[in-house]
A and B are shown apart, each in its own frame.
Chain A
Amino acid sequence: MEPIMATQKRSLLVIGGTSDIAKETALTFARNGWTVIISGRDPDDIAAEAANLELRVPGSRVAAAALDILDTESFVPFLDRLPSLPDAVLCAVGLLGNQGQAERDPAHASLIMRSNFEGPGLLLGLIADRFEARGQGAIIGISSVAGDRGRASNYVYGAAKAGLSAFLSGLRNRLAGKGVHVLTVKPGFVRTRMTAGMKLPAALTAEPRELGEAIYRAVEKRRNVIYVRRVWRPIMFLIGSIPETAFKKMSL
């Protein structure tokens, strides 16, 4: 599916490139003629992912670049080493972790916070500066509906995602009018490895492919915040409007 005009291909950097959401999004962008750089912690894993993407999309060009989201010191050299500044960046790093363990073990809680907020926030902040200097770019952050309101069942993860949502919202505010687009994605339930084995309501659960296509459209249309299945917007509105006095007694 080569674009008809031989224009310079646009490029997407995917951080956390081995997650199901990242894979499907990269696939959609590649099908639409973008070049893709896959990054992730394990060099073998991201190389296999890059090969997979090139095989699945005839004519696509995919590279791999290793990056550990917890190694914040490495972010600047990582960005300096990229052959060119990408047109868009997708941050799909995520660690659901285990809420019970996070309550007992500060190290586990810290890992969840750093993986979902500190690492992604710092990296996207650095990229935002470079996009701003260039006057062009798209930043796509995968946050979560879990960040819209803290719940007993997953509030450590939720708090980290809430931090990421607020960070993205701030970036969007700062960069509005500077040519840089910031998209916050709150996927809701998605059938991925992270949710494998969970009983999920079919109407609320998106397939990864659906998510990839929704993200691509949202970038093209420069949307600000998307829930992949539209039903999530009223649901999260309702959950958000329950008074705290009542909410604290509920089990959601």
Chain B
Amino acid sequence: MEICGWGRFPRVECRIGFPHDEESLRRLVTSGRSIARGNGRAYGDSALNPARTIDMTGFDRMLAFEPQTGSLTVEAGVILGDIIEAFLPRGWFPPVTPGTKFVSVGGMIAADVHGKNHHKHGSFGAFVEWIDLMVADGSVLRCSRGENPDLFAFTVGGMGLTGIILRAAIRLMPVESGWVRQQTIPACCLADAIEIFERSRSWTYSVAWIDCFAQGNALGRSIVMLGEHAVRAELDGSTKSTPYAMAPRRRRRLPLDAPRLALNRFSIRAFNAYYYAKGRRNAGSSLVDWDSYFYPLDTILDWNRIYGRRGFAQFQCVLPLATSLKGLSELLAAISSARQGSFLAVLKRMGAQESRFSFPMEGYTLALDFPVGAASLALMERLDAITLAHGGRFYLAKDARMNAATLERADPRVGAFREMRSISGAAHHFSSLQSERLLL
């Protein structure tokens, strides 16, 4: 069956296994190389293996919940949106969420995803209590900070390359409502945006959308959006009596691939200018429901089709604090002068994080997407070089095209990761097109 990541590039014919219990999974794991796949939200080739891709969405049971602590035990294929649907009415919310709720818990752990609160709460891995992992010989190991701690540390952010995540206990966070108080602040340039992030570090959530067509003095102009879970006292009327209830959102679907010309430099530039103007107009404070706040794109199902049949590639790097302003300026200038502006460009302040192989580190992360083509692939090579020159590194959950040398130069942890894979036997049982490309 031909499958692909969320970016729809590359598309690859893969043999897919659909295990429905531990025994059938064990047969797949012990019979050759494979990679686990959750809900297919990694953008590139992280969850593609032509020889055997294991679809874990059949492992979709919620197993247990402790209301005293907020600890929820689920199978790896459970979808984040289903957790919110089940637990927000009980007053709980995921402590870390990526930009879509259509991710599986296994995928969130494997990519060690981050959200708009990384600067304050860290990545998803910080809220994982334990993981049950099927390793190379088919046995299942409980991993936590106390039990098999090395395996636990490598599995969080390990891109599925240490074994197959079967189930996990994660810690939810209590909230008083399903609403978010949002503060919108326009920033006239990159330095201004960074200044706003730095003085807003006490806010739980912060993220900026960047107009990547702006040049010169306006380079990096953006709309910074800060957010805080609303408490009951901030609500009124009917929302106060039912603080977790939301009117259902209308979902739209992109029924067709957009034609190649629909998303061209002019339409993207117009969108960017429009979005900036709208953000400036709406500056100030407002109450937003959780779904619109955290998952604006989820209302348009299959939004990835907007890039047409060729698909798109994401670029996401993080730069250390000290080099952020200079490095980001160079990245944005390269994008702007290549006239390859991105539809969605997102900037985010990250906090410090110790990890074996996870993406986040203290500094600023920039995420962009480009329709796949010779020009954009060449541009991304230049962005790689700028990132390397400023001591940055790359997010593997987004990547579909980086080369092994770049990864190795960006990340001194690669050697230890490879060694762990080789000693544990994982290297012979778990691999993806990405791990082969990056020689992991």
Tell whether, in the assembled complex, residue A55 and residue B20 are in contact, meaning their CB atoms are under 8 Å apart: no
Residue of A nearest to B16 (CB): A197
Q: How far is the CA of A199 from the CA of B233 in the complex (A)?
A: 52
Tell whether, in the assembled complex, residue B62 and residue A55 are in contact, meaning their CB atoms are under 8 Å apart: yes
Beta-carbon contacts under 8 Å, A179-227 to B: 193, 196-197, 199
CB < 8 Å: which of B58, B62, B65, B85 contacts A196? Answer: B58
Tell whether, in the assembled complex, residue B63 and residue A48 are in contact, meaning their CB atoms are under 8 Å apart: yes
Tell whether, in the assembled complex, residue A199 and residue B64 are in contact, meaning their CB atoms are under 8 Å apart: no
CB < 8 Å: which of B55, B64, B82 contacts A51? Answer: B64
Tell whether, in the assembled complex, residue A197 and residue B18 are in contact, meaning their CB atoms are under 8 Å apart: yes
Q: How far is the CA of A48 from the CA of B21 in the complex (A)?
A: 13
CB < 8 Å: which of B1, B61, B64 contacts A197? Answer: B1
Tell whether, in the assembled complex, residue A52 and residue B1 are in contact, meaning their CB atoms are under 8 Å apart: no
Minimum CB–CB distance for B178 against chain A, Å: 13
Q: Inside 8 A of A56's CB, which chain B residues have their CB?
A: 62, 82, 85-86
Q: Inside 8 A of B18's CB, which chain A residues have their CB?
A: 193, 196-197
Beta-carbon contacts under 8 Å, B90-124 to A: 90
B351 contacts chain A at the CB level, 8 A cutoff: no
B50 contacts chain A at the CB level, 8 A cutoff: no
Residue of A nearest to B64 (CB): A51
Tell whether, in the assembled complex, residue A193 and residue B20 are in contact, meaning their CB atoms are under 8 Å apart: yes
Q: Inside 8 A of A58's CB, which chain B residues have their CB?
A: 86-87, 89-90
CB < 8 Å: which of A48, A57, A196, A199 contacts B55? Answer: A196
Residue of A nearest to B17 (CB): A197
Residue of A nearest to B58 (CB): A193
CB < 8 Å: which of B20, B55, B63, B90 contacts A52? Answer: B63
Beta-carbon contacts under 8 Å, B126-168 to A: none
Q: How far is the CA of A95 from the CA of B90 in the complex (A)?
A: 38
Q: State how many residues of chain B have any CB contact under 8 Å with chain A.
A: 18
A52-B58 in contact given A58-B90, A193-B20, A197-B18 (Cβ < 8 Å): no
Q: Inside 8 A of A193's CB, which chain B residues have their CB?
A: 18, 20, 58
CB < 8 Å: which of A1, A52, A197, A199 contacts B62? Answer: A52
Minimum CB–CB distance for B168 against chain A, Å: 15
A48-B89 in contact given A193-B20, A199-B1 (Cβ < 8 Å): no
Q: A67-81 toward B: CB 8 Å interface, digit per residue (1/0)? A: 000000000000000
Q: Inside 8 A of B1's CB, which chain A residues have their CB?
A: 197, 199
Residue of A nearest to B90 (CB): A58
Q: Inside 8 A of B20's CB, which chain A residues have their CB?
A: 193
Minimum CB–CB distance for A113 against chain B, Å: 24
Beta-carbon contacts under 8 Å, B53-89 to A: 55, 58, 61-65, 72, 82, 85-87, 89
Minimum CB–CB distance for A135 against chain B, Å: 36
Q: How far is the CA of A193 from the CA of B17 in the complex (A)?
A: 11
Q: How far is the CA of A193 from the CA of B77 in the complex (A)?
A: 14
Q: Inside 8 A of A196's CB, which chain B residues have their CB?
A: 16, 18, 55, 58
Minimum CB–CB distance for B202 against chain A, Å: 32
Q: How far is the CA of A77 from the CA of B90 in the complex (A)?
A: 38
Q: Inside 8 A of A52's CB, which chain B residues have their CB?
A: 61-63
Q: Inside 8 A of B64's CB, which chain A residues have their CB?
A: 51, 55
Tell whether, in the assembled complex, residue B58 and residue A55 are in contact, meaning their CB atoms are under 8 Å apart: no
Q: How far is the CA of A143 from the CA of B11 in the complex (A)?
A: 36
Q: A19-49 toward B: CB 8 Å interface, digit per residue (1/0)? A: 0000000000000000000000000000011
Q: How far is the CA of A1 from the CA of B89 in the complex (A)?
A: 9
Tell whether, in the assembled complex, residue B16 and residue A57 are in contact, meaning their CB atoms are under 8 Å apart: no
Tell whether, in the assembled complex, residue A48 and residue B86 are in contact, meaning their CB atoms are under 8 Å apart: no
Q: Inside 8 A of B87's CB, which chain A residues have their CB?
A: 58
Minimum CB–CB distance for B73 against chain A, Å: 9
Residue of B nearest to A42 (CB): B21
Q: Inside 8 A of B85's CB, which chain A residues have their CB?
A: 56
Tell whether, in the assembled complex, residue B63 and residue A51 are in contact, meaning their CB atoms are under 8 Å apart: yes
Q: How far is the CA of A39 from the CA of B20 in the complex (A)?
A: 18
Residue of B nearest to A58 (CB): B89
A57-B86 in contact given A51-B64, A193-B20, A196-B18 (Cβ < 8 Å): yes
Q: How far is the CA of A1 from the CA of B245 in the complex (A)?
A: 10
Q: How far is the CA of A200 from the CA of B90 in the complex (A)?
A: 38
Q: Inside 8 A of A48's CB, which chain B residues have their CB?
A: 61, 63
Tell whether, in the assembled complex, residue B86 and residue A55 are in contact, meaning their CB atoms are under 8 Å apart: yes
Residue of A nearest to B91 (CB): A58
Minimum CB–CB distance for B272 against chain A, Å: 33
Which of A52, A55, A57, A199: most chain B CB closer than 10 A?
Answer: A55
Residue of B nearest to A52 (CB): B61
Q: How far is the CA of A48 from the CA of B18 in the complex (A)?
A: 20
Residue of B nearest to A57 (CB): B86
Q: Inside 8 A of B62's CB, which chain A residues have their CB?
A: 51-52, 55-56
Q: Inside 8 A of B72's CB, which chain A residues have their CB?
A: 55
Tell whether, in the assembled complex, residue A49 and residue B89 are in contact, meaning their CB atoms are under 8 Å apart: no
Minimum CB–CB distance for B253 against chain A, Å: 11
Which of B58, B61, B62, B85: most chain A CB closer than 10 A?
Answer: B61
Residue of A nearest to B86 (CB): A56
Minimum CB–CB distance for B86 against chain A, Å: 5
Q: B246-284 toward A: CB 8 Å interface, digit per residue (1/0)? A: 000000000000000000000000000000000000000
Q: How far is the CA of A1 from the CA of B244 in the complex (A)?
A: 11
Q: B208-226 toward A: CB 8 Å interface, digit per residue (1/0)? A: 0000000000000000000
Q: How far is the CA of A197 from the CA of B17 in the complex (A)?
A: 8
Residue of B nearest to A191 (CB): B57
Q: List 8 A-B contacts (CB under 8 A).
A: A48-B61, A49-B61, A55-B65, A58-B87, A193-B58, A196-B55, A197-B18, A199-B1
- Besides A55-B62, A58-B90, 11 more A-B contacts (Cβ < 8 Å) are A52-B62, A55-B63, A55-B72, A56-B62, A56-B85, A56-B86, A58-B87, A193-B20, A193-B58, A196-B18, A197-B18
A-contacting residues of B (Cβ < 8 Å)? 1, 16, 18, 20, 55, 58, 61-65, 72, 82, 85-87, 89-90
- Complex A-B, nearest 7 residue pairs according to Cβ-Cβ distance, in ascending order: A196-B18, A55-B62, A52-B61, A56-B86, A58-B89, A52-B62, A193-B20
